[in-house]
Amino acid sequence: MASTDKLAAKYLSLFLKSMNHVSLKKFTYHIRIKGRKRHRVQKLLFGTINYLLTIDTALRTASKKANVNLSNLSTMELNLLRILTYRILFNNYELSQIRTKTNNSKLINKIISHINFPTGDTDIDRLALRYSFPRWMIKNLINRIDNNTLELLLDSLNKRPTKWIAININRISPDEAIESLNKEGFNAEQDEEFKDIAIKISKFSKPLTKTNLYKKGLAIPVSKASIGVVKALKITSGEIILDACAAPGVKTILMNFYLNDSGKIYAIDISPNRLKRMRTLLKLFNINNVILTNADARKIKLEKSFDKVLIDAPCTSSGMIGLSPDIKWRLKPEMINYFSGVQLSIVENIIQQLVNMENKVQIVYSTCSIFPQENEDLVKRILNAYEDVVSIDGKSLYGIGLADYYGKFGKRFYPFIHHTIGLFLTSIIV
């Protein structure tokens, strides 16, 4: 076990150096260890990054009690301490199990002997330390989400969400897809809510992108919440759809499944590189009714009329912490205002052009954010600014409404209820 701890400390040191440039999820793809040890190291990395605030607080308190200055330790030794502290606080690791061989083994063991779970004096500190979230995040949410729901949300964001796939409903049935997955060593079952398209995976034999279903373009890995977003559009054959922030293209592909290769999807994205990857994905699924455009949705001029519009807006990605816990530590409070500004600009640009069209158009707006400023608050601003021309259609929405708004501005997918990422969606009629 000691060698696994040291390997995890090595990769933790490497990741913390590069955290501002690469997500933990992508970083772990490049861990050069094989077999079960790789899985154990990856698990320790995710756990330690997840609970970094709690771990570092416990270490500072323990080092004071032990009268040891943490700055006397090397980066590798400090990160080994973090790994061991994670094990003690969250894996029920016994002190007798710890074996360290470094230049400062005595100092490390002395600190470890004083490790205890930290507690806070205020509600914000208590939640921040218990669930290891930045205090500013707790402060942002504590008066907007009731305490029970908030604790369930924070706890669930510290866990990996359930894996799902969406099948091409025109080429394969749920029963056929489940049979194919089970033959390859997966445990797969049909979703009760989205029975036509969603399959839940509870046991893996290999990455989903290595399955026969994916290779043949019959199914795509996706979050259940993303399926809910596309479902809200209530797509019918032959419709013309604008996908305003399209890359990497998963929701575009889901829309194509419901169009059955009919109609057209005009997919725009601001990033040429993301569009390049999206083009490859569309080719894999043999999709030919999507027209890609590199453009900024805040400024684009619409030259066609549309039946439906999807704005899956750029956001803080705070609802995806379960997939990559480093999001907690990379986010800054000012980023909420930045993204809500971008989101408002996109929605306003689209609405201002749709109001001049003869037909009524449905916009589904979504974000994978947990912050009301990017979600309910933004929709409220839109309704206030365009009250004569827009309305909310909640009938097509899946999920649960935020209590203080009673769901009248949209719905949410919660990880602890829906076993998926945290996501907000609403349906605006123009």
Of the CA atoms within 13 Å of residue 354, those in its CB half-sphere come to 24
For 163-222, CATH gives 3.30.70.1170
Which contacts of 145-151 are long-range, i.e. CB under 8 A and separated by 24 or more positions? Answer: 145/402, 145/403, 146/403, 149/403, 149/414, 151/127
Q: What stretches of 35-175 adopt beta strand conformation (E)?
A: 163-167
Average pLDDT over residues 111-130: 95
pLDDT of residue 99: 61
The arithmetic mean of pLDDT across residues 160-182, rounded, is: 96
pLDDT beyond 80 at 100: no
Q: Does 194 score more than 80 pLDDT?
A: yes
Average pLDDT over every residue of 134-141: 98
pLDDT value for 10: 94
Please give the single-letter amino acid code of residue 19: M
Domain 2-112 has CATH 1.10.940: yes
Segment 354-379 shows an average pLDDT of 95
> How do residues 313-327 score in pLDDT, each as one tens digit?
999 999 999 999 999
Handedness of CA 22, 26, 31, 37 (dihedral sign): positive
Which residue is associated with the tokens 């061991």?
84
With 0.85 as the threshold, say if the pTM is over it.
yes
Domain spanning 226-429: which CATH class is it, in words? alpha beta
Q: What is the pLDDT of residues 388-408, one digit of tens each?
A: 899 998 887 888 877 667 678
Residues of the chain with CATH 1.10.940: 2-112
Residue ranges, comma separated, of all CATH 3.40.50.150 domains in the chain are 226-429
In this prediction, residue 98 has a pLDDT band, given cuts at 50, 70 and 90, of low
Q: What is the pLDDT of residues 15-70, one digit of tens each?
A: 999 998 899 988 988 888 888 888 899 999 999 999 999 999 999 999 999 999 99
For position 129, what pLDDT does the model report? 98
pLDDT of residue 82: 97
Residue 93 has what pLDDT?
Answer: 76
Amino acid identity of residue 141, one-letter, is L
- 101 pLDDT above the threshold of 70: no
Q: Which residues contact 179 (CB under 8 A, 6 or more apart)?
A: none
